[in-house]
Amino acid sequence: MDPASDAALIRRIAARDQTAMQVLYGRHHVRVYRFLLRILRNEAAAEDLVSDVFVDVWQQASRFEERAAVTTWLLSIARFKALSALRRRREDALDDDKAAGIEDDADTPEVTAQKSSKADAMQRCIAKLSRDHAEVIQLVYYHEQSVEEAAAVLGIPEATVKTRMFYARKRLSELLKAAGLDRGWP
């Protein structure tokens, strides 16, 4: 096996090789951060959780069974941590009186669409999808995970991933059309 492969790095990390940990972190921290950012929509929270993910890797490397790719394992840990953070955030949310007192100075959807690029418009449309659909889109298209790997990250059957992809693409198409964007990307 290639000594620089992710699986080899995990074995070295299990043996407490700090250099292997640095290499793995350098290789994957951006992907994990972007994945977390898409779920949390908060840069600071995503940065904090990246550290937590790699602390877990350091602590649990000996338990990695190589049934999935290392990236799949990393994103599974990240997803679990992100969902836990979202649950905690909901518990700590503003009460209704405070929320009503906050002025909404955001642009209307029409103004925002005019100001931003098509890629930004795409991200806004993805954000309007259900969490299940958005996760599948992010894993498959942005993190280049196969259907099998996405199923492993999400802990669902491959057929469910395929079904969610179908409905997510259909809904995304409707959202893009409503935002004034057609399917013809330059």
Cα separation, 173 vs 94, in Å, equals: 33
pLDDT at residue number 164: 94
The fold of 6-90 is: Rna Polymerase Sigma Factor; Chain: A (1.10.1740)
Q: How far is CA 138 from CA 2, 35, 102, 114, in A?
A: 29, 7, 31, 24
pLDDT digit of tens for each residue in the chain (186 aa)?
576 799 999 999 999 999 999 999 999 999 999 999 989 989 999 999 999 999 999 999 999 988 889 999 999 999 999 999 988 877 555 555 555 555 666 666 665 545 556 777 788 888 899 999 999 998 998 888 999 999 999 999 999 999 999 999 999 889 888 887 765 444
Q: What are the residues whose beta carbons fall under 8 Å from the beta carbon of 126, sequence distance 6 or more?
A: 38, 134, 137, 138, 172
Question: Phi/psi of residue 66, each to 5°?
Answer: 60, 25
pLDDT at residue number 186: 40
CATH of domain 112-178: 1.10.10.10
* Residues 75/143, Cβ–Cβ less than 8 Å: yes
Structure tokens at 31: 């992907």
User: Which regions of the chain carry the CATH code 1.10.1740.10?
Assistant: 6-90
Q: What's 131-163 look like in SS3?
A: HHHHHHHHHHHHCCCCHHHHHHHHCCCHHHHHH
User: Which regions of the chain carry the CATH code 1.10.10.10?
Assistant: 112-178
Structure tokens at 73: 């394992």
Cα separation, 46 vs 92, in Å, equals: 17
Closest alpha carbon to 122 in 184, 186, 163, 181: 181
